[in-house]
A and B are shown apart, each in its own frame.
Chain A
Amino acid sequence: METLLELEEKEEEGRDMGRNELNNQELVELEKTVNINITSPEDPLLSWTKPMNLSKCPTSYQLNSPQEKQLLVIADNFSSQYSHIFPNRKPLFLCPSNECGVKKFVSTTLRRTMLPYSSLYDWDNCASFVADHLVLQALDPPIEPPRYLISPTLVLETQRGTCFDISTLLCSLLLGAGYDAYCVSGYAVREMCLLDQTRQECPLLVGKVEVKDTLAEDKRQVRKYAVKPPRELRSSFERGQQELKEQEGRAEMLKRQQEAQRLQEELERPSVDPLQGQMLHCWVLVLAGKREILENFFIDPLTGKSYAPNDKSFLGIESLWNQHNYWVNMQDCCYGCTDMEYNLGDSTMWESVLFRITEKEEEDELEEEEEGSAEPNVFEMPSSWVDKITLSKQDLERRWPGGSRTTQYRKAKLEQFTPYLLPGGLVTRLTTYTDLECQEVDVVREWYQNRQDHLEDRELKRTSNVTTELFSPGRKLKLKSHSYVTLTPGTERHMEFYSKVRYDGLLRRVESPGEMEETFEHRDDLLYSRHVFYGQSMKTESEKPGSRPLEKVVERFHRDKSKAAREDVAERVFLLAEGCIEVTFHLEDHRIIPIRRSFVKPKMLPDGQRAESWAPSMATGYQVEPHENPPKNVYLYEMLTALMEEEEKVTLQIKRSELEVREILATREREESNTELRTSIYDTARNEKVQRYREDMVRAKEERQRQEEKEIDLLAPFLAKLGDPETLSPQEAKKLLEDCLANQRKRMIEQDKVLQARYEKETQALQQKQQWYQQNQLSMSKEDEDQYHAYCSDTVFRMGVIKQRQSRHKELGPQKHLALKEKLSRDPRLAPHL
């Protein structure tokens, strides 16, 4: 073989491979120290395949075809030469056993499959699905390749496998989707091999960088005129000194921060890994060129994330393979995979097991072939022995094995669930901790889906004990978010609403024990804020809560351009406790002091009548223009009256708001204690109503069919005569048959009679006409004569037709009779008795 020669040439190079081999004894010791958190059973194969009946496997799983046998010989040959030339390198992962204990070449285990789901068409979705769907079975020992390579079909079924199994599955799917993908066997850092993400930030927590808007600032700068800032009357020396001081302070602060950060990092640094560079891993390489991939990248099958080929986590490559060939790395890996080249056609870098022309050279080769100097008998990789990979829709939707998965990140724990798995609709829960050991809970954030109460997101901050809930649009009172400590009314809370769909334009309602502030948007009366201050409740606690006395209500309004500024109210203060009302109007142009009016309400009698009449002293105010006439008393009086009416309305409105809050809280409590999920009407699998409807449809259809059959049941009238008996005795059956046939005969005769009668009628009419003709022949006009002849020929024709029908009826009679007899004898009710 050619390869052998080349291998020998590179022997020297291979010896220099920068890999520190450990001797056996050391290894054993290491295993004792390292192999703590790896849980792997004694014989993985036994435990995995127990539920699986191996005898059910197709024969290709249990036997090798002649071609495969030949391939195994080649591989054997290759690996013995390889171990001869590179005694220091690890034995190659070429022909592991499959689940049936049969040796299979790794390339043939790759089964190119495209699954019929559009969500698995792109590599990122596909990889994250594979990562989510399977559970890692750690290698044991972590520095040796596994003895078994399970077929992707079984892996999908059992939902567990080593990194080699998972890579094989992912690679099969990617190849099916058209990517230029390869399985890579090599070395990686411990965290990656063991799927240890406890040092990583949770992906849900990073990547929340806000983009600042710089547009507004730019706009200001292009002005031609600008006012100078006012002169500052301060000593520049003093300022300089202060700045100096501040700078020092800042530097000090920065230093302290850096120090703290350094300490923190030191604390978090992982313990030294004694197996650094020895841990075996298997991942997927995607080369550029196909499916619009521009650069090579790695995919870690355990997390489904992509990495650049020079990522520090990948420490070395031993070999890689796809469905066509197997390549051994001939490049130096002492600096990880940073300088690795993936030109697989170059045999100085990649040594292939099978002689195979790469696709690039294929065209040249073809030309050569035409010239007659083609390579004779190139051994092709046999096709895969694995069955077609299948995946059910339920499995795709369930995603995680058992429908849930928990992942530990740095200071965070992420739990994910399949929709509809949990009765509360929970799909994701992210718990963040303040310490590295994950003891002190900081924030618990939960995401929900398909909830009837439209809850989407709930966040509980442990430090302040504040719960924040977010809702999607569609709730009855248009609640958008709700932050609270407890659900009892009158305590601190912050509610936001979808103001556009609320008739009162309410945007926000913030409550604290003595206050309530409501913010509005887009109201016709331009009200934008209502701030309520409650007084101390003098009643005892046993009385109804929420009936606190109002002390002060402040309402603020936007400027209404259609009114003059001096008549446009900016702020209304109802001092209910003092019995006063204060009104402030909007500022006029260039004015700095607004017009103000304050009123003292007249005392009221208990029956709602005023006890005092108007007195000018009830209204006081500040007049901006001193020369202007003071406002008329009528004007003030009417204003006061209007304000008092408004006050009543506002009080009512506040009562209504309080009621609304109480209603929301009650609803929330009810919903929380009894959560319901909603299903889309298009979701046929879950929506019971739709399901029932469909079943009804099917049943109705069947019913209809049955009905139709019943209608043409010839025996029905005769059975009815017998009283529709369940079973028929032989006598009854015979009688039925006879009745039925007799009936038909009778019918035939009747039909014949009808025809005969018609014939006779026609004949009679013709005869009469003829008589009439003969009597009046002489006195007839030409036209009448013609008419008579036409009538005669017409009648004769009709008689001919009737005659014909009669004869056919007679002819068909016996045939019809036989056919009915035949049919009846086949009838399931009569057949057993005949």
Chain B
Amino acid sequence: MIRLYGKVEQSVMDEKMLQDAVEEQGPKEEAGQISKEEGIAFNVVLQLRLEYKNILKIEHLWEFTSLTKLQLNNNLIQKIEGLASLSNITWLDLSFNNIEKIEGLETLTKLEDLTLYNNRISCIENMDTLNNLTFFAIGNNCLGQLDNVIYLRRFKNLHTLNLAGNPLAEEANYKLFIAAYLSDLAYLDYRLLKKETKEQAFAKYQYAIEEIQHNELQTLKATEAEQSRQDELQQHKEAFVEYLNGSQLFDSMFAHDQEAQKLGQLPGLVGLCIQMFESGIAEQKLREAEINAFFEVLQEAAREKQQRSAQLVADFEKYRKKRILDLQQVEDVAQQEAQVNQYMMDIKTLCDSCMLLELQLVDQLEEIIKDFERNITDMVGSFIETVQGIYPFQFQFFIGASHDSHILRIDNREDKLVTRINAWMMNLIKRIQDEEVWRNRKCISEIRNFKQHLRNQLEEVLHHE
């Protein structure tokens, strides 16, 4: 069904349209009244329905960041665009439009339900990132190539598919082809795919499918291998000894020097590298254990303090309400004043004791942070020493008469290691200290705020009278 542009009045997605839609679809009855009075922010809206509006172009949706369901069906949209910021969306309905190409969906990784029914799409494409897709309707389109459906194999969760009304659905082996290639599919064109059909389909396309499965398995294995290699490299980088567990250093050194390559293959040199590499890995493990032990104690101390302070506050809260009630009922001015004073004193005591706990914690943490800093510095220092012990002199011994550029390369590698490990250490310590300062500030401001809040409340009560 293709609508002619001239006959209907096209409209533009402007703020008013959005606002109206949001208000109309927002809370109902009394809640609707209230929300209308104070206005609804676009970034908290979860669902939006914009159907039968003759929209030509998707615009101005960037503010709806929490949106999970968007319905734009029965419009005149020609191109999928302007949806990039709706990263939380799980349901998208673009049926009955004039879309010709699937595009602009790359960022919608949470998408589960996609409807493109009754458009003019001729190819399934550009959907690689939609890993969570479970429902896909693309009926009444211009899909002609049955092979194009194989593209959908990558969606492991795909449960329901609608393809009816496409040219490809006219083909004789349409159902069997799809049942064979999308073996996890449960419903095709809103009908259950029976077990017998699937078996029949599998028998028919067995060889082709097995080949595809084989290829997919190969690719999967390759990606996994690549992934594990990357992980390992990352681990080595964390230990600052990447590319030292073999002869890469020398290979790179002699890449342009055919003659000296023989020298590089001397077993001693590679052995030294490996020695360094192993000590690096061992040191890294030690460092990790140290950091874990430190953080465990740090967190525990903080948690304990938090609990104790929270207990103090909870104890105070228990009687606060009753005391305020009492205050309101006291008639004698002098007595009231005495009670108010007492209350103020209590607030002060509470805040003081919270502050005291906080200060104690700061002292305690400062101490263990210092300890930790010292330990980690020692560890890093000893590691650098070990590396330096093995590194320059021995290598120079081996390639004493070698080219200067080679020595430079070796030195560079060493410098890189030392700089990086020092930077890492500085970063770590700075981060810990920053976090501690941030925590401390947050806590003190919290206590202050609470104190202020309590006083305000008291004043309010007194003022009220």
Contacts and interface: CB of A to CB of B under 8 A. Distances in A.
A624 B34 contact: no
Contacts of A626: 449
Contacts of B294: 224-225
B425 interface: no
B354 A592 contact: yes
Highest count of chain A CB atoms <10 Å: which of B34, B302, B312: B34
Interface string B420-463: 00000000000000000001001100110110010000000000
Given A590-B302, A590-B443, A634-B31, A224 B293 contact: yes
B443 A638 contact: no
Interface stretch (A210-218, A226-234, A345-353): A226-234
Chain A interface extent, by class: 20 to 34
B192 to A, nearest CB: 31
A295 B30 CA distance: 88
A293 B290 CA distance: 55
Interface in A218-249: 223-228, 230
Interface in A571-615: 587, 590-594, 596, 613-614
Nearest to A226: B297
A528 interface: no
A592 B360 CA distance: 15
A637 B290 CA distance: 50
A225 B27 CA distance: 54
B306 A591 contact: yes
A434 interface: no
A641 interface: yes
A716 to B, nearest CB: 59
Given A592-B313, A637-B31, A622 B453 contact: yes
Given A225-B372, A626-B449, A637-B31, A587 B310 contact: yes
Nearest to B448: A626
Contacts of B439: 590
Given A590-B306, A624-B449, A634 B35 contact: yes
Interface stretch (B196-204, B362-370, B393-401): B362-370
A32 interface: no
A228 B361 CA distance: 10
Interface string A633-674: 110011001000000000000000000000000000000000
A629 B257 CA distance: 67
A638 B354 contact: no
Given A590-B439, A591-B306, A634-B34, A227 B450 contact: no
Nearest to A591: B446
Given A592-B310, A592-B313, A228 B446 contact: no
A622 B302 CA distance: 23
B371 interface: yes
A424 to B, nearest CB: 49
B17 interface: no
Interface in B286-321: 290, 293-294, 296-298, 301-302, 306, 309-310, 312-313, 317
A632 interface: yes
A596 B30 CA distance: 24
Contacts of B259: none
A596 B457 CA distance: 14
Given A594-B310, A622-B453, A634-B27, A223 B293 contact: yes
B293 A593 contact: no
B40 to A, nearest CB: 8
B368 A592 contact: no
A640 to B, nearest CB: 10
A587 B443 CA distance: 13
Interface string B336-377: 000000000000000000100000100111011001100000
A591 B30 CA distance: 35
Nearest to A638: B31
Chain B interface extent, by class: 35 or more
Contacts of A638: 27, 31
Nearest to B356: A230
Interface in B62-91: none
A590 B27 CA distance: 35
A225 B293 contact: yes
Nearest to A625: B449
Nearest to A594: B310
B388 to A, nearest CB: 27
A632 B38 contact: yes
Interface string A459-491: 000000000000000000000000000000000
B287 to A, nearest CB: 13
B191 to A, nearest CB: 35
B38 A592 contact: no
Contact of A225 (B30, B313, B371): B371
Given A634-B31, A637-B30, A592 B364 contact: no
A223 B297 contact: yes
Contacts of B360: 230
Contacts of A590: 302, 306, 439, 442-443
Nearest to A582: B321
Interface in B18-68: 27, 30-31, 34-35, 37-38, 40
B450 A593 contact: yes
Interface in A110-124: none
Given A225-B297, A632-B38, A634-B38, A593 B313 contact: yes
Contact of A592 (B293, B371, B446): B446
A587 B293 contact: no
A731 B310 CA distance: 114
A309 B450 CA distance: 76
A596 B318 CA distance: 13
A626 B445 CA distance: 10
A627 to B, nearest CB: 10
Contacts of B298: 225
A228 B362 CA distance: 11
A637 B443 contact: no
15 contacts: A224-B293, A225-B368, A226-B297, A226-B368, A227-B365, A227-B367, A230-B363, A590-B306, A590-B439, A592-B312, A593-B446, A633-B34, A634-B38, A637-B34, A641-B31
Q: 9 tightest A-B contacts by CB? A: A592-B309, A227-B364, A225-B297, A634-B35, A230-B360, A227-B301, A224-B293, A592-B310, A633-B34
Given A591-B442, A624-B449, 11 more contacts: A225-B293, A225-B371, A230-B363, A587-B306, A591-B443, A592-B313, A592-B447, A613-B30, A634-B31, A637-B31, A638-B31
